[in-house]
Amino acid sequence: KFRQHVSTEASQATLASVSPVFAVMKFDKEGNTSYFEKKKTELYQELGLQARDLRFQHLMSITTRNNRIIMRMEFLKAVITPEFLLILDYRNLNLEHWLVNELASQLAGEGQLVTYSLPFEFRAIEAILQYWISKLQGRLNTLQPQILETLEALVDPKLLSVDRSKLHILLQNGKSLSELETDLKVFKETILEILDEEELIEELCLTKWTDPRVFEESTSGIDHAEEMELLLENYYRQAEDLANEARELRVLIDDSESIIFINLDSHRNVMMRLNLQLTMGTFSLSLFGLIGVAFGMNLESSLEEDPRIFWLVTGIMFLGSGLIWRRLLSFLGRHLEPSLPPQVPAILKKTQPAAGRMEIKSDLKAETFGLSRSTLTN
């Protein structure tokens, strides 16, 4: 038993020694920042959480555990408490720039956050959601002019062929747009999942549970849960607007692809028709060229002695070829002309003017009746 106990303690110590280490950036209510590194086991014990709470399984999630808010926005991992905000694994160039230059001042109330008068968790949630929405907006602003410029270069009826480099750029932009639509969809679903559950909204109001006497109601007389619902609904609406813009871009790409295909089909039809006309001309020449073949045989007749027969046979060949070619072209034109619109039945043609005459007559009667009344009044 003693050996088993010693081996168990050794295995636990080994497991604790290989636990991952988080690079943590801590923000307090005044915006003061501190940096440190801490093992996962020590961190979740200090926060009163379980190991699975810091696993960050989903790419995007907002959950509450033991009066702590755990947020994951892809590479952004955050733990919010009523007193401070922890950003885990912050060593990312873009993320570190935002953390140092913007987040600290926003949490201290110097930024443009709407929730500066509310408890600390409101400011932390709004700052993270605002950062993520601005990041999605920046991606859309980058893609939109590139897609419009590429489509403008491709949708040109004068082009007989499509530039493959432009198509490659459009394909890459379309792929990036699909990724953006997916991220917006996941973001909206994450917030909508909270908005649909009243208990989840209540759990996000940490100060209300730690100290019910403080900030029980805001200055406007709205409960904290309602404030949190309005906050989440605001960013859900912004994400919905971005999704609508991305959807419009997708529809524009699909419509432009249809226009490109129509232009290419039109040019292809022109080339096919030209090829068909040349084939008809070749057939006509070869058909009447048989006369020249007949006279070119090594057979003697009295016709070759006449000096005018050459010009006569040549004229017949070219004239006959031209006539045959014109007949074939007229046949082709009759079968390729677009069909005429359906004719209006004679009954409708007769009834429509009659109806018009009836309306005119009724208008004239009304005017005459009005004139007679005015005359009587005078």
Instruction: Transcribe 304-363 into DSSP letters.
Output: GGSTTHHHHHHHHHHHHHHHHHHHHHHHHHHHHSPPPPPPPPHHHHHHHHHHHHHHHHHH
Q: Around 115, how many Cα atoms within 13 Å sit in the side-chain half-sphere?
A: 26
* pLDDT at residue number 158: 62
Backbone angles phi, psi at 80, to 5 degrees: -110, 130
Residues facing 38 on adjacent strands: 22
pTM above 0.85, yes or no: no
CA dist 112 → 118, 179, 214, 330 (Å): 13, 29, 24, 75
Other residues' Cβ atoms within 10 Å of the Cβ of residue 55: 12
- Distance CA(289)–CA(184), nearest Å, equals 71
Parts of the chain with a pLDDT under 50? 6, 10-11, 339-342, 344-378
**126 token code pair:** 């709004």
Q: Strand, helix or coil at 74?
A: coil
* pLDDT at residue number 3: 56
CA dist 194 → 77, 188, 189, 236 (Å): 18, 10, 9, 11
First to last CA, the chain: 125
* pLDDT at residue number 285: 74
